[in-house]
Structure 1
Amino acid sequence: MKMGRGVEWAVHSCVNMAWTPAGEAVNSARLAEYYKLPAAYLNKQLQFLVRAGVLASVSGPRGGFHLARRPENITVLDIVLALEGPEPAFRCGAILGNVPEPDLQENFARTCLVSQTMRQAELAWRQALARQTIAGIADSMERRFPADKLKALTYLAVE
């Protein structure tokens, strides 16, 4: 499984927004500058999160983005699905139907042990991401690296 770089960027951005006081928007250009990321590409990822209901956007001179829901109600899976889409990582092509003399009544995508193995693994992966919330990550980061929250909030503060 390979995810785009935008997933990492979006999770970090959401953690920063979880630390931001309620109602205060984070400017995406400032966020991109903080992490030394391409601003247009980060903004595109944040727009995907807006469409998925993870973020809300605020226009105007103090505009930007903020969490649309409480951070304990936003999972890493929400972010991954918003950016990568809901399609399964493994797509069974039912190639068992191509072998000589296949059982034509068989639903190979359903009964194939390779397909079952891959679906079970993906289910476990999705369940693990669904258990991880932005609030949990933000709290853990703050405990392990207490200076990071203050540094981020100071840098990202609306001037």
Structure 2
Amino acid sequence: MSGGVEWGLHCCVVLSGAGAPVPAAKLAELHDVSQSYLAKQLQLLSRAGLVRSSLGQAGGYVLTRSASEITVLDVIEAIDGAQPAFRCTEVRQRGPLATPAERCDTPCPIARVMAAADRAWRESLRGITIADLVADVSRTTPAEQLDRARAWLRA
């Protein structure tokens, strides 16, 4: 999983409570990350329909729907794509003791295990929304720090 996923999730959490569009430069400064790097992640989120940008002095990024309707998996797939993390290359068909392709009539046991793990991982992340993350951040972050962050975003 790329580092862009982490930044994308953080941005979605921030945008869910911002109350107004937040410029990419402000998000980059808040997270102490390169503006050009973050802009790429925001573009990917935009292409996936999770955020949209508006131009002008009051412009910036906003979520396109409620934080309770955007899952962690949505963000991961927007940034890293939907392909499985593991790709079987049929190792059993290689080397001096290779099994002929015609004898490989069932999926490799390793590929089966990895596919099952990928399905479980995706199902788990499909069940967690940005709103769930926001609630957890609210529970675990001191209120004064959250207030300072909201004020900083408005400034």
Q: TM-score, normalised by structure 1?
A: 0.88
Go from structure 1 to structure 2 and tell me whether the alpha carbon gap of 1:9 and 1:104 turns closer, same or farther (over 3 Å shift). Answer: same
The answer on 1:152 being equivalent to 2:149 is yes
- Structure 1 residue 13 and structure 2 residue 5: aligned? no
Separation of aligned partners in 1, 2:47 and 2:101: 44
SS state at 2:65 partner? coil
| Corresponding letter in the other structure for 1:20 | A
Tell me the equivalent position of 2:2. 4
1:6 maps to a residue whose letter is G
Residue number in structure 2 paired with 1:50: 46
Alpha carbons of structure 1 residues 103 and 29: separation in structure 2 relative to 1, 3 Å: closer
> 1:103: Cα distance to partner?
5.8
Within 5 Å, give how 1:1-159 maps onto structure 2.
Answer: 3-21=1-19, 24-98=20-94, 99-100=97-98, 102=100, 104=102, 106-107=104-105, 110-145=106-141, 146-157=143-154, 159=155
Q: TM-score, normalised by structure 2?
A: 0.90
Report the AA paired with residue 11 of structure 2: S
Q: CA deviation at 1:149?
A: 2.7
Per the TM alignment, residue 106 of structure 1 is displaced from its structure 2 partner at its CA by 3.0
Q: State the Cα distance separating 1:52 from its structure 2 match.
A: 0.2
Fraction of identical pairs, as percent: 36
Question: Structure 1's 119 and 67: CA in aligned 2 closer, same or farther, altered over 3 A?
Answer: same
C-alpha distance in structure 1 between counterparts of 2:110 and 2:117, whole Å: 11
Count of matched residue positions in the alignment of Structure 1 and Structure 2 = 152
CA distance in 2, matches of 1:92, 1:38: 35
Q: Distance in 1 between the 2:101 and 2:50 partners?
A: 46
* Residue 51 of structure 1: how far off its partner (Å): 0.3
> Residues 49 and 101 (structure 1 numbering): CA distance in 2 closer, same or farther, change over 3 Å?
closer
Q: Are residues 104 and 18 of structure 1, via their aligned partners in 2, closer, same or farther at CA, if it must alter by over 3 Å?
A: same
CA drift of 1:147 comes to 3.0
Runs of 4 or more off by more than 4 Å in structure 1? none
Instruction: Confirm or deny: 8 A CA contact 1:77 1:129 kept in the other structure.
Output: yes
CA drift at 1:151: 2.0
Name the SS of the counterpart of 1:78 in structure 2.
Answer: helix
Deviation track 1:127-159 (CA, whole Å, cap 9, x = no partner) reads: 1111111001101111221334322211111x4
TM-superposition CA deviations, 1:45-86 (whole Å, max 9, x none): 011000001101111111110001110010111111111111
